[in-house]
A and B are shown apart, each in its own frame.
Chain A
């Protein structure tokens, strides 16, 4: 494929197409729309972590004036467990149907058991209280060590492990060589166990939808998600309404980070709308978001790495237990598959275990599983480097994966940019700068870590239309979270040779653009650039043909350059260029409207690598660790819009710092989340963070027309290990559990003082 060079628009920091609406308050998010005759839906949720539902009596609620419909699991299509998996992407509809509405059992506090639609929110909430649910409360477990005990209460009896009902729902392994033989060659072997807490994606926009079902079944869904086609398919499967009758309109999405790749409200609101005959709006409270959506897994990982004196890693073994929550499906693939991938390790065993427990069903979170695994692997890498008295970046360089390295999860790498990220980190002003000293009572430290994410391709559709006045409208099919519209505008302007402001980029709804898979896996700019490029090339072909017809020459004798058709050479004839505007004006007479659409299952997404450098300063009295300087280096393939590539790196790092230092789900003795709000679930605020420096290494993806690699997920992967190693460097204390919050750091410092005194 031809790589575009000497670009005018690719690589420019253009104004994002959706920006003006967002800075003026015009942008329409999920909760910002109304419909005539609209009523409100509310969900009744289980107060218990684990309970059999003996019966549900909704009669009193139905009689409350203002109540228009009540829905229970009877109204949601059942996918029987014993009939086998029914997959939609990575989601099994057997679990989805039970997650949106509990069937025989409630499996976590917050699990929906019924829903009401009424003329006001207050009446709907009042009606929920009138629903009588007869629960048989069952023993429960939330933490992994409790859920895998032989006598643990089992969530799903059908689920067998080693022949017995169990909460272990699956195992995955990646294997290369023979680890027993490998460890025999090692001079240094270090094995450690790590735990992490569940953390929420933390999007600021709660889940919301507005749904109308007409008497003929034609359904309109207005909601924000990471995929309007996912919303349509899941709602169709869970309500029985055919996909052709469901128009899912993507609202602007107020953050997702993986957490909006499944539905929660839409099938319920659809059934409430169908039963009531009225449009139904549902908006989650923050507490509902925290209790019943996301978060990612809590985890327990054991990592063992063996290396020779010269720094060569000879063997590694990782075991990653991840909480799936109420239904199978934790991101063990990311933990087991990504964590060792930056390194060329001859003997490797990486295992993942999927563990069900009585907390909300896990949802994807930015490079699902990979940050959990990387925290453990990268911390042990740091310890091995220290034991070998090697610089941690030199140790990584010595073992770095490169072109030709066979990764344990399958692929043999093409040209990759991992080494470049480590070298750039090593040569960065940050790594060269002395740590310096903080105020009295503080200690400083520096840490580094690397990370990998698979990235993804998959199905995408695009339509590029030339307007009658000679401008361009591009329609694609995936919600834009991080700035993909800006990237698409740059690419289309580049290809057509026109000002980017003449390109309007919109996200189509399910009935106006072809199927496009989720916004996830760092796939969107990679995949949409491919279909937009091919569409634009078809348009350019048409434009050349039109000019050729007007000039009465061969289309091959016409080239497209700087937004106009030109003869390829003076030999082809002497003609004044025909601009896009002129050709658009002549279109009706010359063969009709100009436009092209392309639909592809895209392939060739290369994985992404990053290496981070982190400085911390710790207040030794209060135990507060602050990140005071941070540099994220990443192989970004090609930065189509550098501002939004940096934005992905900076945003990922900020989430990682939160995960490392403060964020965690805290459960009380009744198995309920005790901190379901932004006050007690402590995400980084502006005053917690420094500026986050970015170094974008560009090793273009040879399988992509612009060299694009996904960039959104890698930047979260290395962060927790980089912070943990910086804290170790400052204090000489290694933390094997997250978050490294003030109470934990204080306790460790106190224990050290005590030890020194004894």
Chain B
């Protein structure tokens, strides 16, 4: 079967690739696109290690077909930092020891960022339910939840300061 040609935008860059009709978006990211920051833990949408955003919507890239990216805007962990400047979530995860082995970290950060874009002032319960689709086996989630809440607070303060 002929491969499908896809034109899309990933982390703000125009991208093209060829994929099989049954390739997942995760296959395309990790294969021809070389973006291996998105991880495959289950390929059934249960672990969230492959989380990306598509037009600002949080998805498991293992549950999306590679061909579906046509014309959309994707964001992966490789696009979270602004060049050398880390996203505040990345910085906070480092400072708060909110990662151990790191295999879930890409997905956790993408999911956390998607939450804060929607809800800059989440309660602990809201953080916990939003991140319920991202498995972490190392940390017990404690430091991850704290890191997300503290980042949210600092980002709110930053916005306030900028407004003053």
Contacts and interface: CB of A to CB of B under 8 A. Distances in A.
Interface majority SS (helix, strand, loop, mixed), chain B: loop
Interface string B113-128: 0000000000011011
A22 B89 CA distance: 13
A255 B77 CA distance: 20
A692 B78 contact: no
A679 B46 CA distance: 6
Interface in B32-90: 35-44, 46-47, 49, 76-78, 80-81, 86, 90
A678 B41 CA distance: 9
A641 B143 CA distance: 14
A292 B79 CA distance: 36
A384 to B, nearest CB: 30
B94 interface: yes
A483 interface: yes
A654 B106 CA distance: 21
B149 to A, nearest CB: 11
A399 B30 CA distance: 56
A413 B78 CA distance: 51
Contacts of B38: 25
B97 A689 contact: no
Given A286-B43, A655-B137, A686-B131, A22 B102 contact: yes
Interface string A666-690: 0000000000011100011111110
A713 interface: no
Interface in A206-265: 206, 252-257
B134 A25 contact: no
Contacts of A204: 39, 41, 47, 49, 101, 103-104, 135-137
Contact of A646 (B39, B43, B97, B103): B97
Contacts of B141: 654, 684, 686, 689
Interface string B94-110: 11110111111110010
B142 to A, nearest CB: 5
Interface in A1-34: 13, 15-16, 18-29, 31-32
A679 B44 contact: yes
A647 interface: yes
A653 B47 CA distance: 20
Sorting the interface of chain A by its residue count into under 10, 10 to 19, 20 to 34 or 35 or more gives 35 or more
Nearest to A653: B140
Contacts of A205: 39, 41, 101, 103
Interface residues of B, number: 56
A478 to B, nearest CB: 14
A655 B42 CA distance: 18
B19 interface: no
A650 B133 CA distance: 19
B144 interface: yes
A15 to B, nearest CB: 5
Contact of A32 (B36, B86, B139): B36
B78 to A, nearest CB: 5
Contacts of B86: 23-24
A655 B144 CA distance: 16
A692 B41 contact: no
Q: Which one of A31, A205, A256, A641 has the highest number of Cβ atoms from chain B below 10 Å of its Cβ?
A: A205
A25 B128 contact: no
Nearest to A22: B102
Given A25-B35, A203-B137, A686-B144, A19 B101 contact: no
Nearest to B146: A691
B95 to A, nearest CB: 7
A482 interface: yes
Interface in A169-222: 201-206
A512 interface: no
A25 B106 contact: yes
Contact of B81 (A16, A24, A27): A24
B131 A24 contact: no
Given A20-B94, A24-B80, A206-B41, A647 B143 contact: yes
A677 B42 contact: yes
A257 B137 contact: yes
A655 B35 CA distance: 30
B4 interface: no
Contacts of A651: 100, 137-140
Contacts of B138: 255, 481-482, 647, 651
Contacts of B49: 204
B77 A24 contact: yes
Contacts of B40: 31, 206, 283
A688 B109 CA distance: 19
A752 interface: no
A483 to B, nearest CB: 6
B153 interface: no
Interface in A118-157: none
A685 B41 CA distance: 15
A679 B101 CA distance: 22
A286 B41 contact: yes
Contacts of A253: 101
Contact of A647 (B37, B44, B78, B97): B97
Nearest to A645: B97
B99 A685 contact: no
Contacts of B143: 643, 646-647, 650
B90 A24 contact: yes
Interface string A636-653: 000001011011001111
A678 B50 CA distance: 14
A714 to B, nearest CB: 15
Nearest to B125: A687
Interface string A256-281: 11000000000000000000000000
Given A15-B95, A647-B143, A692-B140, A23 B103 contact: no
Interface of A: 13, 15-16, 18-29, 31-32, 201-206, 252-257, 283, 285-286, 481-483, 641, 643-644, 646-647, 650-655, 677-679, 683-689, 691-692
Given A31-B30, A685-B135, 6 more contacts: A23-B90, A32-B30, A204-B104, A254-B39, A652-B140, A686-B129
List the 7 shortest-distance A-B pairs measured between CB atoms, nearest first: A25-B37, A254-B103, A22-B102, A643-B97, A654-B140, A650-B140, A678-B46
23 contacts: A16-B94, A18-B102, A19-B99, A21-B102, A22-B99, A23-B99, A24-B37, A26-B37, A28-B36, A29-B102, A31-B30, A204-B47, A205-B103, A252-B103, A253-B101, A483-B100, A643-B96, A643-B97, A650-B142, A678-B46, A684-B140, A685-B131, A689-B142
Interface of B: 30, 35-44, 46-47, 49, 76-78, 80-81, 86, 90, 93-97, 99-106, 109, 124-125, 127-129, 131-146
